[in-house]
Structure 1
Amino acid sequence: MKPWNVEICDVTLRDGEQTPGVSFTPDEKKDIATRLDAIGIEIIEAGFPIVSVHEKEMVREISRLGLSAKICGLARACREDVDASLDAEVDMIGLFIGTSDLHIKFKHKKPREVVVENALEQLDYAVDHGLIVRFGAEDASRTDPDILVDIYRQAAGHKADYVTFADTTGRLTPLEVAMVMKDIIPRTPVPVAIHAHNDLGCATANTLIAAELGAFQLHTTMNGLGERAGNARLEEVLVSLVLKGGLTRYDLTEIPALSEKIQEYTGIYMPATKPVTGANAFAHESGIHIAAILENPETYEFVPPELLGLERRFILGKHTGKRALMHILTSFGYNTITDEQVIQVLEKVKDRSEGKCSISQQVLREIISRVTGEDLINDDTIRENSGCPGRDIY
């Protein structure tokens, strides 16, 4: 399989911080940027420098961290925004204008030709000052494709390095993205970036289909932060690029810790069933599944937990089978328990689970003690071996 020709521009520090109620401290921003760099992210959009003096200074500090990633600042197509990005010492600028009829009429309130002409002047100014320029079409998904391609071609003629297709309102489905990418990419002379929002829950899928069809720069946020329902999720996009796109240059073992840090910094926590970073992403309860996984994990896993530096876990519950329970007990040091006792423990585990009682370390110990008449190991040993302190699953 030929690897997909893509790069990541992570916008957690900009679009992600536009999540309602989210604001990163300077130390948090630098920590996130450093962790993104450790993964191998090619471009980090560090902020929107014109927003405030504080924001500009923060982008400048990230620019001075000496990271391998290029640092990008977002800017409207106006001189003061470009100057703010220059002051922030960024490598790249994401210059944008609204291109749909709706944005032209109600936001810019000027003829399209005037809006585009002014934007191209700012593009020239940014290029003349040595910036890599990504020329963005906001609300591209509601812009006539022929008009969009014409704007892209003009931007390329003024030495833009990329152009952006932004599904600003998250209105597109994967089939719609496929149709538009097949149309505009062959007609656009510079690489296309895809910026997808998640209002219909399609941002990650839309980003991946765009990548498969030739979009080069993929915009993501960690944990799917962003305006309203957020953006394409970095963790899901990266895993897909490795398993579907044939890429090997990203260090995915950095993802779990970054996800946890983002949750800590924002107070926005991932549901247990969240792909890649959810607590249950690599957990199994079904006896049928676990029995097969013990023979070969590929039977019921497409994403190997080892890819992220994690281990699979087996949950004790109503669907647990004898073999899974024996595996858990053996791994915890219960080597002398008999088959008959295992069956009794399993019956009690199922009874407790039917009553919606979590099978915690303490509950499991109590069950085993009642069945065997002795306390074989203590809670600390179970907790240490579980690799999951304080959780009710193993």
Structure 2
Amino acid sequence: MSIPSTRINIPIRTDPTSNLGSFELIETTLREGEQFANAFFTTEKKIEIAKALDDFGVDYIELTSPVASEQSRLDCEAICKLNLNAKILTHIRCHMDDARVAVETGVDGVNVVIGTSQFLRQYSHGKDMNYIAQSAVEVIEFVKSKGIEIRFSSEDSFRSDIVDLLNIYRTVDKIGVNRVGIADTVGCANPRQVYDLVKTLKSVVSCDIECHFHIDTGCAIANAYTALEAGAKLIDVSVLGIGERNGITPLGALMARMITADRDYVLSKYKLHKLRDLERLIADSVQVNIPFNNPDPTEERSE
């Protein structure tokens, strides 16, 4: 005797502050991706990539700091002149010299970062939290005076003291940053830690929250999804996940995850049929093969 199959639908419980159906992408192949071993993008290639990303529909394109080199500054200016739909950002240190150069390139916004963990404060810049707060206020107020967007992010957030983090985020939120950033710089965070930190941060700031996850321990996609579920608004991604060490949250893989959460939203914003060409463009540019098990958000899934 055959037993009839029964379809069981298990509802997904989401937080009321969830942004699973209203997230935005900060695409950083032209910043984080430039730290990949084989990433030597010419100006022409950067323009080609920027146009392809814009055509796909990303909300923001992040570029290497214009103080990294004279060529980086010129490339930044060239991409700003393309008049793309995506907003153009550049990523700088929390330092006035960097900020002065960045605002002159024509970018729509500046992403400011400084290390807040004990490790980076001791071995990177050697500054205490009071110095960090003073520098952040000075840079933020200057960038805001130029009428462009500003994000402040801690670096190595998940190994930073929670009291230090919340204090600096409160400070920059009060002076009007557009968003604050959480960075899992060494890829050590797990989804439960991400949920707890985003929820806690959400309770003390009124601005948007951006998250940057490295994939060292394999959790970047799960962490990105969890961050949105907890109330973060923006996720940093790169094509094929290229970046420092073994990279960050991959654009295509995150799309495959998000289309299961809100298919209509994803399809209304992003041209998924352009994704494979975009991945081939980057794979060819950095001389890697597209992984055989690369997630594909365009695949039909049985109901």
Alignment TM-score > 0.5, same fold = yes
Q: For residues 194 and 100 of structure 2, what CA distance do their matches in structure 1 show?
A: 34
1:311 corresponds to which residue?
A: none
**Among candidates 248, 253, 256, match of residue 276 of structure 2:** 256
Q: Distance in 1 between matches of 2:88 and 2:179?
A: 15
For residue 51 of structure 1, give the secondary structure of its aligned residue in structure 2.
coil
In structure 2, the partner of 1:143 is 160
Work out which of the residue numbers 110, 117, 120 in structure 2 matches 1:100.
Answer: 117
Indicate if the aligned counterparts of 2:20 and 2:228 stay in contact, CA closer than 8 A: no
Q: Does 1:72 align with 2:92?
A: no
2:289 equivalent to 1:272? no
Q: Which of 120, 140, 163 is 2:180 aligned to?
A: 163
Tell whether 2:241 aligns with 1:218. no
Tell me the CA shift for residue 251 of structure 1: 1.0
Please report how far the alpha carbon of residue 3 of structure 1 lies from its aligned counterpart in structure 2 after TM superposition: 5.6
Give 1:270 deviation, angstroms. Answer: 1.8
Give CA deviations for 1:105-161 in whole Å, capped at 9, x if unaligned: 222212220122112111111111222000011111111223212111111112111
Q: Structure 2 CA distance, aligned partners of 1:179 and 1:110?
A: 27
2:37 is equivalent to residue 17 of structure 1: no
TM-score (norm 1): 0.69
Deviation at 1:242, TM superposition (A): 2.6
Residue equivalent to 2:101? 84
Do structure 1's residue 234 and structure 2's residue 251 form an aligned pair?
yes
Number of positions where the alignment pairs a residue of Structure 1 with one of Structure 2: 283
Matched, 1:174 2:191: yes
Greater helix proportion = 1
Identity percentage over the alignment? 28
Contact 1:224 1:233 in 2 (8 A): yes
CA distance, structure 1, for counterparts of residue 155 and residue 223 of structure 2: 16
Deviations 1:269-315 (A, max 9, x none): 122122229xxx96xxxxxxxxxxxxxx644xx8xxxxxxxxxxxxx
- Give deviations 1:179-198, integer Å, cap 9, x for gaps: 22222222222111000001
Native 8 Å contact 1:193 1:215 kept in 2: yes
Higher relative contact order (CA 8 A, sep 6+): 2
TM-score (norm 2): 0.89
Q: Are the aligned partners of 1:239 and 1:252 in contact in 2 as well (CA < 8 Å)?
A: no
Q: Secondary structure at the match of 2:203?
A: helix
Larger Rg: 1
Task: Tell me whether 1:42 sits opposite 2:59 in the alignment.
Answer: yes
Name the aligned partner's letter for residue 293 of structure 2.
T
Letter in 1 for 2:272: L
Contact kept, 8 Å, 1:235 with 1:276, in 2: the verdict is: yes
| Alpha-carbon RMSD | 1.8
Whether 2:50 is the aligned partner of 1:33: answer yes
Displacement of 1:29 after TM fit? 0.7
SS at match of 2:177: coil
Aligned 8 A contact 2:116 2:156 in 1: yes
Pairing 1:352-391 to 2, within 5 Å after superposition: none
The one-letter code of the counterpart of 2:281 is K
Deviation at 1:91, TM superposition (A): 0.5
Query: Which amino acid in structure 2 is aligned with residue 258 of structure 1?
Result: L
Residues 93 and 131 in structure 1, CA contact (< 8 A), matched pair in contact too: yes
**C-alpha distance after superposition, 1:312-362 (max 9, x if no partner):** xxxxxxxxxxxxxxxxxxxxxxxxxxxxxxxxxxxxxxxxxxxxxxxxxxx
